[in-house]
Amino acid sequence: MAAGDRMTKISAKDVAPNRRRGGDLRTLLSPATAGTTSGFMGVLTLEPGDVVTEHYHPYSEEFLYLVSGEVTARIDGAAVPLAAGDALHLRKNVRHRLENHGTHPAFVVFQLGPLAPRPELGHVDTEPLPDQESV
């Protein structure tokens, strides 16, 4: 069995950023990139002043790990401060938003599972998306 049949290696620098909800989000391992069947994972960089707009996942739990920096997670509107080394588990259907009010970039690793039946069903936006001209 060849290595490609057993694993997939992807570098964040080789993945285009998704800025649709704010920040620099890169989905690294997913059905499209790695043939995953139970979830997907990626990384998020939030520069000072950046946010990821509020949304929820009707089919997936989300797991966040803050590698560096500080962020405020708004969980159903309530502020939850996170510092480097903190992990956060969000259950299905929980509204959440991430904000960087600090002076340094924040770097987050995230994983979601299980997968939604179709990718477009995986996120439900609950606030207007950022103006793409300013992102």
**What confidence tens digit (pLDDT) does each residue in 96-124 have?**
999 999 999 999 999 999 999 999 999 99
What the block records as the tokens of 99 is: 């904000």
Residue 115 CA to residue 59 CA, distance in Å, equals 7
Q: Could you read off the pLDDT of 39-52 as tens digits, one per residue?
A: 999 999 999 999 99
Cis geometry, peptide bond prior to residue 114 (ω within 30 degrees of 0): yes
Q: Where are the strands (E) in the chain, listed by range?
A: 24-29, 40-46, 51-56, 61-68, 70-75, 78-83, 87-90, 96-99, 106-113, 124-125
Q: What are phi and psi of 66, to 5 degrees?
A: -90, 110
Give percent above pLDDT 90 in the chain: 89
Strand, coil or helix: 18: strand
pLDDT score, position 117:
95
Listed by start position, the domains of the chain span 41-119
Residue 9 CA to residue 50 CA, distance in Å, equals 29
Q: pTM surpassing 0.75?
A: yes
Q: What single letter denotes the amino acid at residue 25?
A: L
Give percent above pLDDT 70 in the chain: 94
Specify which residues 68 forms β-bridges with. 107
pLDDT score, position 84:
98
| CATH T-level assignment (fold) for domain 41-119 | Jelly Rolls (2.60.120)
pLDDT bracket for residue 4 (50, 70, 90): low
Asked if the model's pLDDT at residue 2 lies above 50, the reply is yes
Asked if the model's pLDDT at residue 88 lies above 80, the reply is yes
